[in-house]
Amino acid sequence: MIRVLLPLLIAVLVGCQTPPAEPNSNSGYTKRRRGPHIQKATDRPRVFKDDLSEFLVEQMKIEQREGLGLFLFRIKDDQLLYAMALGQAETQRGRGAFSGTGPLPAGSSSLWISTAVLLKLVAQKQLKLGSTTGQVLGWKGPAGKITLRGLLSQTSGFPGRPVNFDCFSRVDRTIQDCATEFYGKLTGEQIPLVREGDSFSYGPSHIQIAAAMAERVTSERWVDLVKKYLVKPLNLGSDTSYYTDATKLDGQSNPSAFEGLIISMRDYALFLRMLVDNGQKYLPKFLVDQMLTDQFTLSTKIESSPMKILLNKSYHMGLGNWLECEPGGDEGCLQLNINSCPGVYGWYPFIDEGRGYYGVLAALEGHNSEQRSADPALRSWRILGRIREFMTNWRM
């Protein structure tokens, strides 16, 4: 019944390469356990909501934010604990009240959902995690041995953001154009390539090549296959889509699977619910486990990571999402961790299995793509950490 009432509840509350070894099936997220049931929050829902709202208003002042939204659910039964959007935001429709049900640019939080689209094609046997760029795109040599797994884990061997390569951000190109140009620069050694699994380099290159593979096997454009394989099956809002520049709703022939998603907080929460419910009927459980499991090997070296730069954290990557490994390193990342996918405008979707809840924290800062920075994501990371403390200490 909770699943049936979810939209109504939210509406009321919201104003020469060799592939790397595959992760051990007995490690990582496959050993996950359900966290505490955080019963206190549901014993006194009105008091909990009021106290958390007051806390979030305080956090907005501390972090100098004009708008902030939070959707929070209990993992055990998907019970909605909190759904509120506070303050103001600059949206596509102009400045107004921050809404949890209206579509917003998700920044690089797009990556998690794009990965789910690719895994849906794996579930339907149109692709495999071991499918290579050679098999699908016709690439030759070392470049043709890059696997879908390597692309989705950002460990394919090439840089996430190659120097002097701007094709992925151009509205006058297509995903296929950029994949072809990228391949040419790889073979011409203008873009470096190391053995898959040896290097982690965060950025759009990997998922854009994966999107090119998806287009090739389906003979459909990325925006069309997203509607077919994601929006309709999960019953997401019809506005959910991808653009080259999501802040301007511009460019759908070369959409960014890395940071071009437009989606509401409500719909992102529905996506997370699918994952914590072991895929429901959308993805097989084993693919959900793979998505949420550490994909680093013992030889993986972090070459480029915003988590390292901003937080000095050696977080690892699953398939399209971060493992917030504490204390970090190979051993730490085999433990129960937070899975997340923060975005440049302040989005921070997360699954906190250990504490027993999941949700979406969102702001809308740096909406002008010319003024973007990592600061909104950093502020959301700090706020989310304080929310965890609040949840632990509330009414003790």
Cβ proximity of 111 and 99 under 8 Å? no
**pLDDT at residue 102 in the model:** 85
SS3 at position 300 = coil
Query: How far is it, in rounded angstroms, from Cα 366 to Cα 114?
Result: 22
Position 307, amino acid: M
pLDDT of residue 4: 38
pLDDT in tens, the chain (396 residues): 334 334 433 333 333 333 434 443 333 333 333 334 445 556 778 888 999 999 999 998 898 887 888 999 999 889 999 998 887 665 555 566 677 888 889 999 999 999 999 999 999 999 999 999 999 999 999 999 999 999 999 999 999 999 999 999 999 999 999 999 999 999 999 999 999 999 999 999 999 999 999 999 999 999 999 999 999 999 999 999 999 999 889 999 999 999 999 999 999 999 999 999 988 889 999 999 999 999 998 899 999 999 988 888 889 999 999 999 876 666 667 666 799 999 988 899 999 988 889 999 988 765 555 555 678 888 899 999 999 999 888 863
Beta bridge partners, 68, equal 86
Rounded distance between C-alpha atoms, residue 246 and residue 10, angstroms: 25
Assigned token pair, 70: 């939070």
Q: Is the dihedral of CA 302, 215, 351, 65 positive or negative?
A: positive
**pTM reported for the whole predicted model:** 0.87
Domains of the chain: 2-15+31-393 (3.40.710.10)
| Cα 139-144-150 angle, rounded to 5 deg | 130
Name the DSSP letter for residue 288. Answer: H
CA distances to 21, 45, 176, 341, 377 from 215, in Å: 27, 46, 8, 24, 30
Query: CA 317 to CA 149: how far, in whole Å?
Result: 11
